[in-house]
Amino acid sequence: ANICKTSFLDPAFMKTLESALRFGCPLLVQDVEAIDPILNPILNKEVRKTGGRHLIRLGDQDIDISPTFCIFLSTRYPNYRFAPDLCGRVTMINFTVTPSSLQSQCLHKTLEAERPDIHEKHSGLMKLQGEFKMQLRILEQSLLEAISDAKGNILENDELIQTLQKLKTESQEITQKTQ
């Protein structure tokens, strides 16, 4: 489906929104600096089922909502701070290009074109580093579980101390491998 574009300043905003809701068209709302309260039922996912229909209340009317409908909100400002309640209801993605990310992308493309052998080695190392970070997260989770499951005084719990020492050793090994 083609993406529908609109903004809160567009006189046809409501018509575009209703059409996208009904027909399941992805909707891009541009230049969002403040959220129009009309979107609250959508962002809160206040969908009701009535007789096999999925309905959402917009203003004073119920609108059919297609299961394929999705909405994207964008702003032109790279450092715009949205309200915390909005951040809790949506997935925020920052597409701002920083000098370091641009440098990394240029290096990646240059290596890919000029030295495919080094590029392949670099890609493998980046993948390995990601795997090591995942292992560290698993170890951290294991540590938290071991501490929360401990009974009595944790300083006198030999099983917990052995588990902590094992986790510390594994963590140090992974940290050395990533350097």
Tell me whether residue 163 is in a domain. yes
Q: How many residues does the chain have?
A: 179
140 and 162 inside one domain: yes
Q: Which residue has the higher pLDDT, 89 or 55?
A: 55
- Residue 135: predicted pLDDT: 83
Average pLDDT, the chain: 87
Tell me whether residue 140 is in a domain. yes
Tell me whether residue 19 is in a domain. yes
- Domain residues for the domain of 160 are 99-178
Residue that terminates a domain, selected from 63, 87, 111? 87
Read off the pLDDT band of 4 (50, 70, 90).
very high
Name the E strands within the chain: 4-7, 27-30, 47-50, 53-58, 61-64, 71-73
Query: Is 80 exceeded by the pLDDT of residue 125?
Result: yes
Domain CATH number, residue 73? 3.40.50.300
Query: Is 70 exceeded by the pLDDT of residue 130?
Result: yes
Number of structural domains the chain divides into:
2
